[in-house]
Amino acid sequence: MSDSVPLRSLVRQKLVKTRIIATLGPASESIEMLRQLVIAGVDIFRLNFAHGSHAWMSELVHKIRQVSAELECPIGILGDLSGPKIRLGEITGGEVLCNEGAEFRFVRGMQSTSPTDLTCTYEPLIDDVKAGDRILLADGTVGMVVLEKDPGLEWVRCTVFQSGKIRSRQGVNLPGVALSTPSVTEKDRKDLEWALHNHLDFIGLSFVRQAEDIRSLHKLIASHHPKVTPLIVAKIEKTEAIDDLENILDATDAVMVARGDLGVEAEISRVPILQKRIIRRCNELRIPVITATQMLDSMQSNELPTRAEVTDVANAVLDGTDAVMLSGETAIGAHPTQCVRMMDRIASEAETLVEPANFKDLRDDETRRARPITEAVTRGTIAAAEYLQADLMVVATVTGRTALALSRMRSKVPILAFTDREEVARRMCLYWGVTPLVNRAVQQSADSLLQFVINWGQKNQLLKSGSKLIIVGHTNWLGETHDLMMVHVVP
């Protein structure tokens, strides 16, 4: 790393453990801004397929990889599929005021000549809803209830129970309605193909309703035989997903608590409780979990967040989230770098109160655990690190599972994870408390790993004489590979 480039928040790498995800957009597309965001603390960049062309995103991927190489640190990329997002069509006059008790109709097609006849991008709406179902508009600020359905299925008649103004192209939510559309749309398939071709590390699946949605996406990804298989992030934002949460958690690789649509689909007062419930369950099952939506929303225009936003971010960290995500704050906001720095500061303060996990709280799930012997060694590593008040835990990993096992324990001792696979390093950008690095020599022996870590730590001012290291690696005795835990004091 060039001396002219600021150290990528090396103090942060040692002390701050919550990962930061930043959504890209016009405010953050330049290579200089990407560099500043990474230095400020971004671990993963999010590409929202609902906005932007593939050509534009290809340029971003190239820039991100360039910044990653320049700063010598892995940076993950999350591709967020749009899913079956429903939007209003064009409204006559562009907008209309919906007074309580007023009646409107949803009609087939995408053209309407009356402001009280509404259209939407989801043609089966008229087929799927029934009398008594709610239709929420404009992020849930306007609510209607279905009164009657045309026997010929050309319209449904509704009455307004929550008044407000609606505009063309605003979002439509159908809480509790079983949609007939598949979870992966034709647009999603094209976006997924592009994502796999560009070796994205994570794929977000929007509007997950049941575990089968996740399994279908796994199969679709496998059918492309990708060189790098991304991890699937199930976005929990529908009440159906809450109802099938346990099965979804069994099928997915990671989870996002997407509080925007979740706060529309479910009663908004339930969102904090649902957030805590989902995060706690993910922690128990060793599933990385992201908390997202409006975390520092006021900073899109203001230089400082509200006290409530600061408390929200801190509470997500205390709940046990692995990552916190910025959306409009970094995509279109006026202060993207300041937002990341603020997120970093809040997380740093909150992490001092994060309690270590208890071994008995983790479910014995072989699909998410490391090998039994490795699992035992990692548990010993945690105990030794805490007892000795070690400065650093170091792990050499091929798949990232050992690093994840250490991460799940929420130790106050930071973890440095080495791998010889770039794609594994980028995946570990989502693991709480883990700083991933790529080095192809460290797999050779525990001694080579130790020497590299000492040199790296001293160079970056993280280690000094007397620093204690706990190293988890492998050694080869008599032609057999053995798991090894080693304690070392820097001379």
Active-site residue list: 46, 87, 235, 293
Let me know: does 433 contact 17? Beta carbons within 8 Å. yes
Q: Which of 202, 194, 213, 178 is nearest to 83 (CA)?
A: 213
Q: Give the largest Cα separation in the chain, rounded.
A: 83
- In the sheet that holds 468-477, the strands lie side by side as 434-438, 415-419, 392-396, 468-477, 480-489
CA distance 418 to 398: 8
CA distance 456 to 195: 33
The secondary structure of 91-157 as a DSSP string is PTTSEEEE-TT-EEEEESSS--SSTTEE-BS-TTHHHH--TT-EEEETTTTEEEEEEEE-TTSSEEE
Tokens of 386: 């805490």
Let me know: does 95 contact 102? Beta carbons within 8 Å. no
Q: Which of 380, 45, 10, 422 is nearest to 227 (CA)?
A: 422
Task: Tell me the HSE value of 128 on the side-chain side, using a 13 A CA sphere.
Answer: 15
